[in-house]
Structures are given as structure tokens and as C-alpha cells.
Amino acid sequence: MARKWLRDVSDIARNIPKNQVGGILKKDLVIQPNEKAVIVKNGEVTDVLDSGKIRVGGLLKPGNFFKDVDVVIMDTSPKDLNWNMGELWSADKQKLGCSGLIRFRIGDIKRFFSMVYAYSTTDKKGERALGIQDIYSRLQSEVLTRVLEPEVSRMPMEDIYGNRNLQITIEDELETQLEQTLDMWGLELLKHTAEWDLGEYKTVLDAHQKFQTGEELAELGTLAEEKKHEDIGRVDVAKLRADQASVSVEADFRRQQELKEVEARRERERREDEDDIRAAREALKLKEEMHLVKARGMRVGLEVEQDMKDREHGRDMEYMKTVTEAGGADVAKTISEGRELSNLSAAQIEALAKVRESEVKAGEDKVEFMKEVEEREREDAYRRQELDAKLMDAAKPVSAGVGASAKVGKCPHCGAMVPAQAKFCGECGGKIG
């Protein structure tokens, strides 16, 4: 009797040893639709079979009767895995959750075959079974927790709530990691969904909204009460204005008239100021023009005078040149001085004479002063010589005797006592001997 795999919805693969297949003459397995079988002989994969009946042993097939033959049957139909991560915490310590659906199927038989032996254990009959829950356990520890927890923990709840772009970014990262992990196991990701559960944050938002709404309603009630009192106040003010209307109108009329008078006076003063400014500007302009005309006249007069002086100087230079060539420099100097004197007044000539007389007198006084200085210097020289001689006499020893043995003598010129060894007299400076 051929054996079939009575699989559960959550089963995805099962290993059936040959000794668990019924029958003596023949041991057959029926591979149903959406199933594939991997034949394992002595621990090696020998064949991958699609749906149909396969024989794994029996007396009618003695070549395989004594061999260790296992068959791994795999369900290739799409499988749905509902996942849930309800213990996620945001950066501001808000609890939230995320759940969704993962739909996958077997894509690579050989790679998935190695997963059957890696992630399943044998039961009492020696069979191995791999279910969706086993795959979910691996995905939860290797993908879901590693992707969702770091992303959510670094963001505050306020940034997560309603931020569809952030949610899409996290879901894309999660889908990428799922595809890589499932592909490593030989599985193909068909669909992936994610749904966020903000938990108590919505309750907090609802409570906050209700509180804010209550506050706004209370404020509106207060405003309505204030409006009521304001309306009453406006009515009272209107009555008061009605009583004071005539007085107010008269006061307004007077204020307007005073304002008009003030404005008229200001306008008149402004125009007067403008006229004064205009007249002042015209006077300044006229004054500047007069200065310019006067300056031009002075300039013309100076130019004419300078031209006359230049011509006179040219004639003088020509005349001086002629006189110098004819009579010499002294004659030219005399003529030049006489010409200069002819241009001076009597008082200027007298003053010039006094200046020259004082210059001559100053020169004579200077000569007399120099003579006096020389005489004083000469007298000082004589006194210094006499003093030096006396100092020399005082410094030398003098004998008390007279005659031939005396060490002093007289100067033949002035008769002054001089030392015997002196060659010059200390008084008159004459030479002795």
C-alpha cells in the first residue's frame, strides 16, 4: 500500500525514513500535487522528483532493500506566515506594536533541503518535520527584532505617528532583510505587509483631544458671557453718547475749527519760510557771481601788472647787460642801487640810511670788542706764566746763603729774584744768561 504525506497547513517539509514506509514487497510513496521529493541515499541527495509515485524499497526492489534511504517531501505551495511584534518601545518610552503577513514558497529545493536538517529535530519514529512556526522563530530572532527594534527605539512616538514616509522606509528595510534571509534558506518572498499598532498612544491622543475640546468649549462659554456683558455695555455707552451728542458735536466743531486755523497758520509760515529760503538762495547766488566777477577783475589786473613788471624787468635786464658790458659790475651795482633808491620815498631812504649806519657802527663795535678780547687774553697769558713761575720756585728748595753759593739771582731786565737754574724771568719773561 502506497503511503501519502498527510500534511497539515502549517507543515512545509517532512523527512520520512524508508523503515516508516509500509509494505514488504514494495515500499511506495505518493508525491501529491504541489509537492516535491528529495531522495537521500546514505546521506547524499540522489534525485529530486515531482508529483507521482516513487518506490523507496521492498523485496521487489532488492537493490535498495538493504540501503539507508530517506525521502524528504516538501510542500511547494505558497505559505502565509502571520507575524506580530507587540513589544516595541519608542525613544520617549511609548509602547507600540507592528504585525503583518509574510507569504513565501520554496524557490530552491537543494538550499531548502539543507534547512530541513539544520532547523528540525527527529521524533520517536525517526522522522523530521519543519513547519511555518519554525521558520517564524528564525525570522523573528534574526530579522524582525534586528530591524524593527533599532529603527523604532531611535524615534519618538510623535515622529512615528502619522509619518507614512518613515513607516514605508522601515517596511522597505524589513522587506529587504526578509528577502535576503529567505533567499539564503532557499525560500522566495511573495508578499509582505505591515500594520502599525500605536497602542495606548491613541488613547492618550483621544484624552488630550477631549481635554482640549473641553477647554475650548469652556473658553467659548466665557467669551459668550463676556460678549453678553459687552453688548450691555455698548447699549449703556450708546445711551450716554445720545445724551452727550449735542455737546460732543459742538466740541468737535470747535476742535475742527481750531485745527483748521492751526493748519492755515502752519501753511502760511511754511510758504513764508520757503520764500525766505528762495530769496536767501538767490542772494547767495548773486554774491557768488559778484565774487567771481571781482576775482576775474583782480586776476586781469594782476596779469596786467605782472606783464608790466615783466616788461620793465626785461628792459632793466637789457639795460644792466649793456651797462655791465660798457662800465663793469661796480657801475651796474651803483646804477641798480640808485634805481632802487629812486623808487623809495624820503622816509624809506632815511630809514635805509639809518640801517646802513647802524650796520657800519655794529661792524666797528665788533672790531673794538675783538681787540679788547685779545688784550684780555694776552694779559691772562702773562698772569698764567707768572703764576707758573712762582709755583715752580715754590716747589724747588731755596738756600739761605748769598754770594757765589746762593741758588737765586736777579733778572737783568727787571731785577726780579729768579732761581739760579731759571733760563727765563717769571716776571717779565726775559731770557737770563
139-149: per-residue pLDDT in tens? 877 777 777 77
Cell numbers representing residue 191 in the block: 508578499
State the average pLDDT over residues 158-186: 80
Q: Give strand pairing partners of 234.
A: none
Q: Which of 292, 293, 260, 108 is nearest to 116 (CA)?
A: 108
User: Quick check: 326 pLDDT over 70?
Assistant: no
Count H helices and E strands in the chain, helices first. Answer: 9, 13
State the average pLDDT over residues 27-39: 73
Residue 53 near residue 46, CB atoms below 8 Å: no
Give pLDDT, residue 26: 57
Give pLDDT, residue 18: 57
State the average pLDDT over residues 302-318: 81
State the average pLDDT over residues 310-318: 78
Cell numbers representing residue 135 in the block: 521558520
Q: Extract the runs of DSSP E, i.e. beta strands, from 371-423.
A: 408-410, 417-419
DSSP string, 377-424: HHHHHHHHHHHHHHHHHHHS---S--GGG-SEEE-TTT--EEETT-SB
Give pLDDT, residue 405: 46
User: Quick check: 7 pLDDT over 60?
Assistant: yes
Give pLDDT, residue 63: 44
Distance CA 167, CA 207 (A): 25
Confidence of residue 152 (pLDDT cuts 50, 70, 90): confident
| Chain mean pLDDT for the chain | 76
Q: Helix, strand, or coil here: 43?
A: coil
Residue 30 near residue 53, CB atoms below 8 Å: yes
Q: Extract the runs of DSSP E, i.e. beta strands, from 76-124.
A: 79-89, 95-106
Specify the higher pLDDT residue, 304 or 15: 304
Q: Mean pLDDT: which of 90-94, 131-135, 327-331, 336-340 is highest? A: 131-135
Cell numbers representing residue 184 in the block: 539564503
The percentage of the chain sitting over the pLDDT mark of 70, rounded to a whole number, equals 76
- Of 87-96, 199-208, 349-358, where does mean pLDDT reach its minimum? 199-208
Distance CA 201, CA 220 (A): 28
The percentage of the chain sitting over the pLDDT mark of 90, rounded to a whole number, equals 2
Q: How many Cβ atoms are within 10 Å of 121's Cβ, its own excluded?
A: 9
CB-facing half-sphere around the CA of 274: CA atoms within 13 A: 6
User: Quick check: 198 pLDDT over 80?
Assistant: no
Kindly report, residue by residue over 376-420, the tens digit of the pLDDT.
888 888 888 888 777 776 666 544 444 444 467 778 888 777 777
